[in-house]
Chains A and B, each alone.
Chain A
Amino acid sequence: MSFRSPGLPLRGRGPGRIRGLTGLVLLAGAVAVASTPAAADAVKLTLYSAQHQQMVEMLTSGFTKQTGIEVAVHKGEAPEIANQIAQEGSSSPADLYITENSPELLLLEEKGLLAKVDPATLASVPSAYSSPTGAWVGVLARENVLVYNKSMIGEGDLPASLLDLAKPAWKGKVAIAPTDADFMPLLSAVKVLVGKDGAIAWLKGLKDNAAVYDDDEGVVAAVDRGSAATGIINSYYFERYRVETGDDKIHSAIHHFGGGDAGALVNVSGAAVLKSSHNQEAAQKFLAYIVSKPAQAALAASDVDFEYPLAAGVPANPALKPFAQLQPPRIDLAHLGDDQDAAEMLREAGLL
C-alpha cells in the first residue's frame, strides 16, 4: 500500500489517500477546538502540586473518600509551578498549592496571592512550621543530611559540620545540587549562622571542592555509584533510593549533622489556599484534612513518603531517625527567606 513511484502522480491511489490525510488534519483541528474543557457544576478543587506525586495521590484520594469532593491535580517542578501561579495571578484556576519547601510559599505570600489558613488548621501543627502570618500551613518536614559512599569514606572521617565541606581537605569529595529547591534554604541557614560574607566564602570553598548536580536525585545516585564520596541531600531522597535499589544492593548510608549545625536544617513542606479561589470553603477543608492525624499517619506508615508528619502525636516512618532526636539549628522559617538572597549568593559564588 505504499505510494508508488512519483513518476506518475496523477494516477493510482495517491489522491484518495491524500484526501484522507486532509480529512485527518481538518478533523484534528475540529477536535482540538471542541475539546476545550467546560466548567463543571459540582465543587471540584484544583490543586497545583510541586510535591511528589505518590504522596499527593494518597492525600487527594483520602480527601475525596472522606468528603466526596474531587481534586484535580496539576503537577510540575516547584519553581515552574510557582512561576505559573505568579503568571496566572488573580485569574489562576488553582484553588490550592502544595510544595516541598517553604520559600516558594513565602514568595507567593509576598506577592499577595495566598488566603489566610483557618486557625483550627494552623493549630494542628506546631506554629514554628507554618507561616507566621497564617498564609500557609506546614504539612511535612524533611531533614538535611550528608549521604556517603561506604566504600569511599569511613564513618570516622565524616565531617562534624556542614561548613567543614568547604575546607581544602574535601576537594573532589562532595556532590551538591546548589539550585535544587532543597539546597537554597540550607544556604539561607548558613547565612543566618555565619553572615552573608561567611556564607559566600563557604560557597566558594564548596564550589572548589564539589561536583555540581542538578538535583538531589542526581546527587544521591552519584554517591551510591561512587562518582562522589559524599553528597548534601535531604534524607527523603536517600530513603527513596534505598527502597528502590534494595538494602542488599546499596553502597551508601547517611550521616546526620548534630548540635544545631546548619547541615541539620529541617525543611518544611507546606500548602496554601489561593486568594483567587472560588471554592474557599472546600479548599480550607482540604488543608484541614492533610494536616489531620489520620491523613498524616497514613502517609507516615506508607513507605512512599519519607518525610516527618507535623501533626502532633503522629509517629514518623520507622526508617527515619526519630524527629525528637534531630538537632536542627534554631532558625525561624521566616529567616530562611524566599530564596532570592540565596540565589544572589549563588550568583556571587559562581554557582548560578
Chain B
Amino acid sequence: MTPSAVHRRLRQTQGRPPLGFLALSAAGAGLVVLPLAYTVVEAFQVPAREATKLLFRPLVGQLLLNTLDLVAAATLLAGLVGTLAAYFVERTRFPGRPVFAVLAAVPLAVPPFISSYAWVSLSPALEQFAGALLVVTSSYFPLVYLPVAAALRGMDPALEDTARSLGVGGFSNFLRVVLPQLRPALLGGMLLVALNTLVEFGAFALLRFRTFTTEIFAEYRAGFNGPQASLLAVVLIALCLVCLFAEAKVRGTRRYARVDRGTRRRIAPRSLGRAAIPVTAGFLILAATTLGVPLGMIAYWLLQHNSAAVSPVVASPLALAQAMFSSIELAVLGAAFTLLLALPLAYLAIRFPGRLVTMLERAAYLAQGVPGIVVALALIALTVRHLRPLYQSTALLVVAYAILFLPLAIVGLRATFAQVQGSLEDAGRSLGLSRMRVMLRVVLPVAAAGIGAAAAIVFVSIVTELTTTLLLAPIGTVTLATEIWADTSTLAFASAAPYAALMTLLSILSTWLLAGRFGRVNGGEAGGSA
C-alpha cells in the first residue's frame, strides 16, 4: 500500500448522525453562539453614521494591520516550533528526551502577561512587535506541540516503513508521509494559535503592542461604552471567521485513519547519533526561552522582601491553599464540562461530517475570536435579565469557561478521533453494543491520549484565565489568577510571586499528570504492542 492510497479522498457513507450526540453538540454550539449573538445585537445599536466613523479611523487600520501581521507570524512560527519539538520528542532519541517532552507542554501554563513582564524587564528592546511575537509564540506553541505529538503517537508506522522500503527516506519521508498525516493536528493547533493571538490582551498591553483586542479594552475603559466596544468585537468575530474559513480550506476532507484490518506496532524512536547534540541544545534553548526567563523572574521576585513587609495580602499558607483549591475546583469543573460538550461535537465532526455538523463545529470555534471581557459582559447581561439565579454562580462561570475553551478541546479531540479506526466501532456495533457502549468501550479508550491532552490544555487555560474569572466568579471567590492580578496591578510583584509560582507548579503538575498519564511519551515502558 502506498501512502497516497491512504490519503485519497474517500466518500463518507456513515449515514445520519445519532440524535443524542447531535442534541449535545447543538447545545454546546448554542451556548457559544448565545453571548456572541447578544454582542452583535448590541453592536447594531450604534447609529450607522457613528459606526462608520468609529470603524474607518486611521488607528483602526493600523490596529488591523498590527493584528494580522502578528497573527500570521506567530501562527507560522508556533507551527514550525511545535511540529519540530513534537517530532523529535516522539520519533527520536536524544539526551533528556522524557524531560523535554513535558517541558515543551508547560509554557502553556505560564500566562503570557507573566512572560511579557519578564522579557520586558530584561530588555526594553523587546517591546512592540518583536516582543509580542516572542511572547505569543513561547506561550502558544504547545497548542501545536500537544496535538501533533498525540497524532505522531497514534500514527501507524507501517506507512513510513512502506515508504522507506520504497526508497523514500529521511526528511523526504517526513514531508511526504508523516506531515500529510499530521494535517488535522497541525492545522488545528495553528488555528488555535491564530485565534489565541487574535484575542490576547495582557501581554500586548505590557509590550505596548496595540491590537484589536487592546483597542476593545481601551474602548471599555475610556468610553465606558458597551455598544462601541461590541462593534469592534464584531470585527474581531469577522477576523475569526476568516481564520476558520482559511483553516477549513487547507484542511480539506481527507481521512487519516487506517482503513484495513490489523493492529499497530509501536514506533521505535530513531537514534540521532551526533545530531542528538544540536537537538538537545535546541530543546535547552527552547526551555530557557519559554520557561527559564519567566520562571527566573518569578524566582527573582520570590527572593525580594520589600512588599512582603508592606503588603497586607500576605501569602499565608492558608490563603495560598484556598486560592489554589478554588483554582483547581473551577478548572476541574470547567474542563469536565468543556469536554462533555466537546466530545460529541468532535466525534460527529470526524464520523459524520455533514453540513449540519460542520456548522455546529464552526459555531463552537467562534467564541475564540472574542476577548473574554466581551463574552463575560454579554453573559452578565443575559443572566441578570433572564436567568437571575445563575448570575455569579459557579455554574455560570463553568459555562463561561466552556464557551471560551470549547475550541481548544475540540481541536485536540478531533485530531485524536481522526485516527480511530471506524472499523473498530463497526465491529463493536456488530457484536451488539449500543452506540453509547461503543463510545465508552471502544472510542474513548482508543482516544484516551488525545482526551488527556485536551483535558490538560483546558485545565491549564482555566487556571490562568483572568478577565472572565474576575467578572463572573461568585462573590468572594479568590483564585491564583485573581490574586496575581490584584498584586501585579499595584506593582506588588513580590507578593504576587508565591501565587505565580504556585500557579506554574500546578500547571506543570497537571500537564504531567493528565497528558503524561493518558498519553505517555512513546518509548520506554509505555505503549506496548498488541
Distance in angstroms between the alpha carbons of A104 and B223 in the assembled complex: 10
A352 touches B428 (CB 8 A): no
Residues A340 and B224 in contact, CB atoms below 8 Å apart: yes
Q: Does B31 contact A (CB under 8 A)?
A: no
B340's closest neighbor in chain A, by CB? A25
Verify if A82 is at the interface (C-beta below 8 Å from B). Answer: yes
Asked if B394 CB lies within 8 Å of chain A CBs, one says: yes
Find out whether the CB atom of A29 lies under 8 angstroms from the CB atom of B336: yes
Per-residue A-contact encoding for B409-451, CB less than 8 Å = 1, 0 else = 0000000000010001000100000000000111011101101
Q: Which of A1, A52, A303: most chain B Cβ within 10 A?
A: A52
Tell me how far the C-beta of A80 lies from the nearest C-beta in chain B, rounded to whole angstroms. Answer: 6
A32: contacting residue among B221, B394, B440, CB under 8 A: B394
Give the nearest-CB partner of B373 in chain A: A80
A16-47 vs B, Cβ < 8 Å mask (1 yes, 0 no): 01110110110011011101110000000010
Contacts of B494 in A (CB 8 A): 244
Q: In the complex, what residue of chain A is closest to B470 when comparing beta carbons?
A: A76
- What residues of chain B lie closer than 8 Å to A88, measured between beta carbons? 380, 384
Query: Complex Cα distance A163/B310, Å?
Result: 36
Q: Which residues of B contact A78 (CB under 8 A)?
A: 221
- Chain A contacts of B527 at CB under 8 A? 2, 4-5
Set of chain B residues within 8 Å of A10, measured between Cβ atoms: 428, 441-442
Q: B486, A53: Cβ atoms under 8 Å?
A: yes
Closest to B59 in A: A350
B67 to chain A, nearest CB (A): 16
- The answer to whether B448 touches A52, judged by C-beta atoms less than 8 angstroms apart, is no
User: What's the nearest-Cβ distance from chain B to residue A11, in Å?
Assistant: 9
Interface string of B495-530 (1 = CB under 8 A from A): 000000000000000000000011110000011111
Query: Is there an interface contact between A18 and B221, defined as CB atoms closer than 8 Å?
Result: no
Please, which residues of chain B bring their CB within 8 A of the CB of A243? 306-307, 310
Interface size class of B (residues with CB under 8 A): 35 or more
Segment at the A interface, from B184-192, B356-364, B474-482 = B474-482
Q: Note all chain A residues with C-beta closer than 8 A to B451.
A: 21
Q: Is B388 an interface residue (CB 8 A)?
A: yes
* Complex: A177 Cα to B451 Cα, angstroms: 43
- A52 & B530 in contact (Cβ 8 Å cutoff): no
Given contacts A76-B470, A79-B224, contact A5 B530 (CB under 8 A): yes
Q: Are A80 and B208 in contact (CB under 8 A)?
A: no
Given A10-B441, A221-B491, A346 and B471 contact (CB-CB distance below 8 Å): no
Across-interface contacts of A237 in B (CB, < 8 A): 491
Which residues of chain A are within 8 angstroms of B428 by Cβ–Cβ distance? 10
Asked if A200 CB lies within 8 Å of chain B CBs, one says: no
In the complex, what's the smallest C-beta–C-beta distance from A334 to chain B, in angstroms?
A: 17
Q: Which residue of A lies closest to B448 (CB)?
A: A3
Shortest C-beta distance, B232 to chain A (Å), equals 11
A327 contacts chain B at the CB level, 8 A cutoff: no
Cβ–Cβ contact A338 & B224, under 8 A:
yes
Given A35-B393, A36-B394, A83 and B441 contact (CB-CB distance below 8 Å): no
A5 contact from B215, B332, B420, B528, Cβ within 8 A: B528
B124 at the A interface (CB under 8 A)? yes
Residue on B with the closest CB to A247?
B306
Task: Evaluate whether A212 and B208 lie within 8 angstroms (CB atoms) in the complex, with A2-B526, A244-B307 already known.
Answer: yes
Cβ of B162 within 8 Å of any chain A Cβ, yes or no, is: no
* B285 CB-CB contact with A under 8 Å: no
The closest CB in chain A to the CB of B424 belongs to A9
Q: Is B52 among interface residues, defined by CB-CB distance under 8 A?
A: no
Output the residue of A53, A74, A226 with the most chain B CB within 10 A: A53
Q: Chain A residues near B206 (CB, 8 Å)?
A: 214, 218
Q: Is A255 an interface residue (CB 8 A)?
A: no
Q: Smallest CB-CB separation from A53: which chain B residue? A: B486
Residues of B within 8 A of A344 (CB): 223
B493 interface residue, CB < 8 Å from A?
Answer: yes
B489 within 8 A of A: yes
Contact partner of B225 (CB less than 8 A), chosen from A6, A241, A343, is: A343
Are B445 and A15 interface neighbours, CB within 8 A? yes
- Closest Cβ–Cβ distance, residue B41 to chain A (whole Å): 14
Q: Is the CB of A352 within 8 A of B205?
A: no
A73 engages B476 (CB within 8 Å)? yes
Q: Looking across the interface, which residue of chain A has its beta carbon closest to that of B394?
A: A35
Which residue on chain A has the smallest CB distance to residue B309? Answer: A303
Q: Are B529 and A7 in contact (CB under 8 A)?
A: yes
Q: Is the CB of B520 within 8 A of A2?
A: yes
Q: B369: CB under 8 A from chain A? A: no
Task: Decide yes or no whether A184 CB sits under 8 A from chain B.
Answer: yes
Task: Given the known inter-chain contacts A18-B440, A37-B392, A73-B476, please indicate yes or no for A240 contacting B482, CB distance below 8 A.
Answer: no
A6 surroundings in chain B (CB, below 8 A): 154, 264, 420, 445-446
**Is A285 part of the contact surface with B, judged by Cβ < 8 Å?**
no
User: A29: which B residues are within 8 A, CB to CB?
Assistant: 336-337, 340
Nearest opposing residue in chain A for B455, CB measure: A21
14 more contacts with CB within 8 A, not counting A31-B333, A83-B220, A240-B491, are: A4-B530, A7-B263, A18-B448, A25-B336, A28-B336, A36-B394, A75-B486, A76-B470, A77-B470, A93-B391, A244-B306, A339-B222, A343-B223, A350-B58
Q: 9 tightest A-B contacts by CB?
A: A14-B445, A7-B530, A214-B205, A7-B263, A28-B336, A227-B124, A53-B486, A179-B218, A343-B222
A/B interface sample: 23 pairs, CB < 8 A = A2-B517, A2-B519, A4-B530, A5-B264, A6-B264, A6-B445, A14-B441, A14-B445, A17-B445, A17-B448, A28-B333, A52-B490, A57-B312, A72-B476, A74-B475, A78-B221, A79-B222, A89-B384, A212-B210, A217-B491, A218-B208, A221-B120, A343-B222
